Structure 1
């Protein structure tokens, strides 16, 4: 079970990428049939194929658009660190995501006449 590395796909031409995507889609089709008939032994292969197809399609669209891909190491160097207070604020749940029972137990703030 080998996955296609992004660096390997980046050196391929667009025609080669399209051929590889077609080959992977055929394999995905066969795996779906094997799963439906109960003959699929390696269930993790379905996930690997799906991700390889997505990886190849992403690289192909980047090449068609003429973009230069950002390497992870370069992206991490240029990224600004996030302030601690912003990280804490983002980790707290918003009031809209409170469970229903917590909302039901809150007192009603409407005025009674």
Structure 2
């Protein structure tokens, strides 16, 4: 997911995507704990996507407050 894609989203879309990624992160952690995780790179990608979404959401709310 690119930052430009996230900036084009509304705040509701960002919240939905954030919820989806957090669920995926939880599932990946369970897979890793049980030894069933095949794509280990996906854990890092999801973590970074969550951070990207939260950063842009915070910037959007800060600019809206001004």
Correspondent of 1:59 among 50, 53, 56: 56
- The ranges of structure 1 where at least 4 consecutive aligned residues each deviate by more than 2 angstroms after the TM superposition are none
1:41 counterpart residue number: 38
Number of corresponding residues: 64
Segments of structure 1 that go 5 or more residues without pairing to the other structure are 68-113
Larger Rg: 1
RMSD over aligned Cα, in angstroms?
Answer: 0.9
1:17 counterpart residue number: 14
Compute the TM-score of the two structures, normalised by the length of structure 1. 0.56
Larger relative contact order (Cα-Cα within 8 Å, sequence gap ≥ 6):
2
Correspondent of 1:26 among 16, 23, 29: 23
Compute the TM-score of the two structures, normalised by the length of structure 2. 0.94
